[in-house]
Amino acid sequence: MSEYQVKLEAIGEYQDALRYKKMSEELCVSLLGLLGQLTRYYEKNGLELPKEVSRIMEKTSEALDARLNSSQTSC
């Protein structure tokens, strides 16, 4: 394999990684939106939010924040 082909393959893999990263961030945002709606439903109906839902929301938010912070520092 020539050096040119190796570089093309590396660029392709990098582009794939960027697509997966963007998709992951979009999924985190969607999950947070869904969990936010669930939280509002529980609050509106006077129900206590299950601890597992709160934990998932916190972990998702942390993961998204970490990804966004790493994106900002690498630009």
Confirm whether 38 is domain-assigned: no
| Proportion of the chain above pLDDT 70, given as a percent | 93
Hey, what are 7's tokens? Answer: 């570089």
* Number of domains present in the structure of the chain: 1
37-to-27, 32, 65, 71 alpha-carbon distances in Å: 15, 9, 20, 27
Confirm whether 50 is domain-assigned: yes
Domain assignment of residue 62, given as a range: 43-68
Confirm whether 62 is domain-assigned: yes
Distance CA 16, CA 20 (A): 6
Closest CA to 53 of 66, 67, 65, 36: 36
**Could you read off the pLDDT of 21-40 as tens digits, one per residue?**
899 889 888 988 998 899 99
Confirm whether 36 is domain-assigned: no
**23 or 75, which is more confident:** 23
Confirm whether 9 is domain-assigned: no
Distance CA 6, CA 67 (A): 28
